[in-house]
Chains A and B, each alone.
Chain A
C-alpha cells in the first residue's frame, strides 16, 4: 500500500471554527490532491499541488485553503466551517501525470 496517512480520521466541529486536515505521504510523490465525497456528487476536487509551494484550485475550492511547505505534507484548511462542508475528505498522491494515483483512507468531518 502507498504510504499515505490522513489525520484526523474523524472530526466533529462547530460552525464557524477553523479546521485543518493533514495528509502525510512517505512516497516522495510530486502531486497531492484533496477531494471531497458526497452522495449524489461523487468525488470532487478541492485543491491540488504539483510541488512544494505550488498549488491550484479545483472545482469546489470556495471556503478552503491549502498549504504545502514540504513534499510529504499537504494541509487542507476550512477557514470557517459550515454545515455544507460536512463530508468525507480524501487525499491522493501521484508521482506524475502518467502514473497511478493512490488514495488515503479518508477523514469524516461533521460540522454541527
Chain B
C-alpha cells in the first residue's frame, strides 16, 4: 500500500524567508507527484506536477524536486509572503495505487508579516 508522509506538519516563518516542505512516499513505482495548496474552507489548487522521469519543476517562486528512487520530493518556496499561508499537500499517482492519487496529510504553513 502506498503511504505518503509530509514533514513538518506545521511551520511558522517570518516573511521573506526561503523554506522547504518535505514529502516522502513508500512505493517508488509512481507515474507522477503533484503539489497542491489548500486555503481554509476551500478546495485544492494545483501548484506543480512532476512526472516520474523529471527531477524538478518550477513555477514562479516555487520549485519542486523529485527523487523517485529514494521516495522523496521537496517543495521550495522562495521569499515567502503572508499570502503563501495555507496547507500544502503532496499526492502521488501510480505504483500500487494505479490511477489513484494518494495524499499526505499536509504541512500547514504560516508566514508572519
A97 touches B93 (CB 8 A): yes
Query: When chains A and B are docked, how far (Å) is the Cα of A1 from the Cα of B45?
Result: 9
Could you tell me the distance in whole angstroms from the C-beta of B47 to the nearest C-beta in chain A? Answer: 10
Query: When chains A and B are docked, how far (Å) is the Cα of A68 from the Cα of B89?
Result: 28
Neighbouring B residues of A98 by C-beta, 8 Å:
31-32, 51
Neighbouring B residues of A40 by C-beta, 8 Å:
105
Task: Check if A33 is an interface residue, CB within 8 A of chain B.
Answer: yes
> Contacts A102-B46, A103-B43, A104-B43 hold; do A97 and B106 have CB atoms under 8 A apart?
no
- Report which of B44, B45, B51, B99 forms a contact with A90, defined as CB distance below 8 A: B44
In chain B, positions 6-65 with a C-beta closer than 8 Å to chain A are 31-32, 34, 36, 42-46, 49, 51
B44 touches A103 (CB 8 A): yes
In chain A, positions 37-51 with a C-beta closer than 8 Å to chain B are 40-45, 48, 50
- Report which of A58, A100, A105 forms a contact with B100, defined as CB distance below 8 A: A58
Task: Number of B interface residues at 8 Å Cβ cutoff, please give it.
Answer: 24
- Report which of B42, B46, B94, B106 forms a contact with A101, defined as CB distance below 8 A: B46
Neighbouring B residues of A104 by C-beta, 8 Å:
43
A45 touches B100 (CB 8 A): yes
A101 touches B101 (CB 8 A): yes
Task: Check if B71 is an interface residue, CB within 8 A of chain A.
Answer: no
Query: When chains A and B are docked, how far (Å) is the Cα of A104 from the Cα of B43?
Result: 6
B94 touches A97 (CB 8 A): yes
Query: When chains A and B are docked, how far (Å) is the Cα of A102 from the Cα of B45?
Result: 7
A105 touches B103 (CB 8 A): no
Query: When chains A and B are docked, how far (Å) is the Cα of A41 from the Cα of B31?
Result: 24
Task: Check if A31 is an interface residue, CB within 8 A of chain B.
Answer: yes
B interface residue numbers (CB < 8 A to A): 31-32, 34, 36, 42-46, 49, 51, 89, 91, 93-94, 98-106
* Closest 10 pairs between A and B when the two form their complex, measured CB to CB: A42-B105, A103-B44, A43-B103, A105-B43, A103-B43, A97-B99, A100-B49, A100-B46, A97-B31, A42-B103
